[in-house]
Structure 1
Amino acid sequence: METYIALLRGINVSGQKIIKMELLRGIFEAMGFDAVRTYIQSGNVIFRTKKTREQALLKKIESTLEAELGYRVDVLLRTPAALQAIVQSHPYGSIAAEEDRKLYVVFVHSVPDQRLQQAFLTLETPGESFVFAGREIYISIKKDHPKPVFTNMLLEKKLKSVATTRNWATVNKLLLLSTEV
């Protein structure tokens, strides 16, 4: 059995695509997954299943969610090992503990094209920075920064990819919960 973390994009945001976590757990359990847990309302599901190709698992989850909910929900998958590597490879080092910054990790389906990455990096400002690392983008924003450029929608548009963002505390909590399953 393999543990996976499903990161659902765009649910329970600004009153859109509202999904109760109890319902979401039930849908995942009905798909035959074991040890299903959710974490907070932003669409984080930890579950166990037989090791499966990521694309096949994504197709099963997304099509089932659409059939059950009546609308498309994009899903990104990671394993606990992948989350561990993300946490250990944090490019901002000691600032992860600083109180004057907000730290985020953006998850994308595939490594963005190098030209698109370079174009996105031109959007950096003195108060926010971006670091690409495979299928993740690390973001650091100073808390007193007046109006950050970064939004998930802007990133998706510029990188031409589905993406979902989690704050640093959530990434760490998901890692902890996924290793307890």
Structure 2
Amino acid sequence: MKQLPVAMITVILAAGPGPQAASACSPAAHPPSVRPETGPGCDWRFRTGDYEAVSLSGLTDLGGGVIAQRLREGNACSFAASLLVTDCKSGEAMLFGPDRVTLMEGPKSLPVLRLLDRLEKRPRGSFASLSAVSAQAEASGVRTSVPVPKGSELRFGGKVRMPLHCGCATLYPGATK
């Protein structure tokens, strides 16, 4: 009987038995954060537990004083994805989503991710109000949205506070009052 080289066995095992096989996902453990990690583009991250984190992406300038940021809560394998859109002129914001993402179920086209893709592909200024973004959200299949009162912050687990003022202060400092 002819034996396969070890490298060939590894390739066969990695490929799996076929398209019916489910993908495995194991998030890596990280110690919980003591304080949030922040970046220059108003990105923000806090590890709430060994396998859980909340994060806000850098800024997407939609033009006309409107900005968007992706919000993510969970881990590398399973998380909730939302989109925070802020109108810096009025100080009002809207949180669209969340969509639940489980990588073991395979890739999906989620309404919140479709919404951000559509917003980014249109000319800057096409969505210069929350009502214009809300109409696009509905067209993208987003069924859940929550208004975020002016001056609010998002809270997670009762102890983690995510400030929301950075984006407007960075891109539209004269627009906010």
- Length-normalised TM-score, structure 1: 0.30
| Structure ranking higher in helix proportion | 1
| Structure ranking higher in strand proportion | 2
- Length-normalised TM-score, structure 2: 0.30
Q: In terms of Rg, which structure is larger? A: 2
Kindly indicate whether structure 1 or structure 2 has the higher relative contact order, using CA contacts under 8 Å at least 6 residues apart.
1
